[in-house]
């Protein structure tokens, strides 16, 4: 078991801490501005552009990249791929922190955050896709918290509570997959109501399916990416099982990602065909669409396949990064870049630096919390009391 007191006696002035500290100070300053002066003081939002990067990045990208939790737990507990067991806890933890970050970001974005429970306790707007998103995100955040709790309970030495939660694993996993299916797809379906605003190449009656399938890709790639980073920075926290399974995880998840990317590519092409938008591919938006589809879907699909075939972990790891960037690009395209494409450039949105500062601030806080938890709780290693359980 790794030494829990590694940081004592050492200086806290590491480069990471200094950068994180500066970002957090700026973030706190903008936070005060946001909640005392209003959205207008810190954002470039307008009546034409009611949603900025706090929705386009923090919500759409955040939720997609946090899909690793449900993908991994489904693979291990439902599809019986026990050899990836070591990936479950880090994936659940990142998922939980990701969703927590999304919910905190929403508190910045909505006009009256203290009313966020209103859709549940006052009046239910069940005709709204946003209601579905809100309900599922709220429930899923709870599910992720419970799924994560065994690590914390082991750390705290609460064996009885921990064993009760472990018994719920299958139920929680199934619930998590149902909720994830619903809200990952609904995030795309949010835009179904605005066919006159979203560019036809991105608007599709299948947009909900696109969002769900690409979330699986994001989840698989994020697990590979995280495991690479964790191995780089927290190798001393990893036990033998984690170190041994690491390469298996990259190969297995890379293979899965390649297949799902291939399916995603096919349904995206079907999407163009269904709306008969071939003629739009020659326009400037069309070329941008092709950059996304060929450069960030077809290409990683191919490189994942090569990496798995050659058992080349380096290719797989870089492809994972490339794929994650592709998902980010897709969400920004739907939420911001191809949205309101009909407006003159003077009416288009570009984020205020303070909006970016808050997004960076929230990601940084997530990283700091992740580091704390990984350093203290049994995430990358099995707790000695429960080592034989897997």
List residues binding another protein (CB under 8 A). Answer: 35-41, 43, 45-48, 50-51, 74, 77-80, 109-113, 115-116, 118-119, 122-132, 134, 167, 169-171, 173-174, 177-178, 181-182, 185-186, 189-197, 205, 208
CB of 262 to another protein, least distance (A): 21
Choose between 203 and 264: whose C-beta lies nearer to another protein.
203
What is the sign of the dihedral through the CA atoms of 77, 136, 89 and 233? positive
Residue that the structure tokens 């697990």 belong to: 223
CB of 122 to another protein, least distance (A): 5
Choose between 148 and 203: whose C-beta lies nearer to another protein.
203
Q: How many CB atoms lie within 10 A of CB 61?
A: 24
Choose between 82 and 309: whose C-beta lies nearer to another protein.
82
CB of 343 to another protein, least distance (A): 9
CB of 213 to another protein, least distance (A): 14
CB of 150 to another protein, least distance (A): 14
Cα(227)–Cα(221) distance, integer angstroms: 10
CB of 306 to another protein, least distance (A): 30
CB of 129 to another protein, least distance (A): 6
Choose between 19 and 38: whose C-beta lies nearer to another protein.
38
CB of 294 to another protein, least distance (A): 28
Choose between 43 and 364: whose C-beta lies nearer to another protein.
43
For 167, list phi and psi in degrees, rounded to 5: -65, -25
Choose between 160 and 167: whose C-beta lies nearer to another protein.
167
CA 329 vs CA 14, 209, 333, 337, 338: distances in Å: 32, 17, 6, 9, 11
Tokens of 337: 């870049």
CB of 81 to another protein, least distance (A): 9
CB of 26 to another protein, least distance (A): 20
Choose between 178 and 241: whose C-beta lies nearer to another protein.
178
Cα(307)–Cα(309) distance, integer angstroms: 6
Choose between 8 and 36: whose C-beta lies nearer to another protein.
36
Choose between 116 and 262: whose C-beta lies nearer to another protein.
116
Choose between 48 and 278: whose C-beta lies nearer to another protein.
48
């Amino acid at each position: 078991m790794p030494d829990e007191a590694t940081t004592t006696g050492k200086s806290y002035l590491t480069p990471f801490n200094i950068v994180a500290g500066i970002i957090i100070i700026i973030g706190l300053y903008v936070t005060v501005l946001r909640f005392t002066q209003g959205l207008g003081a810190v954002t470039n939002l307008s009546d034409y552009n009611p949603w900025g990067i706090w929705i386009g990045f923090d919500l759409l990208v955040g939720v997609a990249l946090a899909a690793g939790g449900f993908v991994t737990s489904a693979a291990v507990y439902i599809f019986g791929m026990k050899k990836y067991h070591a990936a479950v806890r880090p994936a659940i933890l990142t998922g939980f922190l990701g969703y927590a970050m999304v919910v905190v970001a929403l508190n910045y974005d909505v006009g009256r955050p203290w009313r966020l429970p209103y859709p549940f306790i006052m009046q239910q707007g069940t005709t709204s896709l946003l209601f579905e998103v809100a309900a599922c995100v709220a429930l899923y955040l709870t599910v992720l918290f419970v799924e994560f709790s065994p690590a914390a309970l082991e750390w705290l030495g609460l064996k009885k509570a921990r064993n009760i939660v472990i018994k719920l694993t299958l139920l929680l996993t199934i619930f998590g997959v149902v909720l994830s299916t619903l809200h990952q797809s609904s995030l795309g379906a949010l835009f179904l109501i605005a066919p006159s605003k979203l560019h036809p190449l991105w608007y599709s009656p299948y947009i909900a399916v696109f969002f769900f399938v690409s979330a699986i890709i994001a989840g698989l790639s994020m697990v590979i990416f995280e495991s690479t980073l964790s191995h780089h920075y927290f190798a001393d926290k990893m036990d033998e099982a984690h170190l041994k399974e690491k390469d298996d995880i990259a190969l297995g998840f890379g293979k899965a990602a390649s297949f799902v990317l291939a399916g995603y590519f096919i349904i995206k092409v079907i999407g163009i065909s269904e709306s008969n938008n071939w003629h739009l591919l020659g326009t400037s938006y069309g070329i941008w669409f092709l950059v996304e589809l060929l450069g960030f879907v077809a290409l990683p699909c191919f490189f994942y396949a090569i990496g798995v075939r050659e058992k080349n972990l380096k290719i797989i790891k870089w492809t994972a990064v490339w794929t994650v960037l592709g998902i980010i690009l897709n969400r920004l395209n739907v939420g911001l870049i191809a949205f309101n494409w009909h407006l003159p450039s003077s009416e288009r949105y570009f984020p205020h630096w303070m909006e970016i500062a808050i997004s960076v601030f929230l990601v940084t806080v997530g990283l700091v919390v992740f580091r704390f938890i990984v350093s203290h709780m049994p995430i990358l290693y099995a707790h000695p009391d429960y080592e034989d359980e897997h």
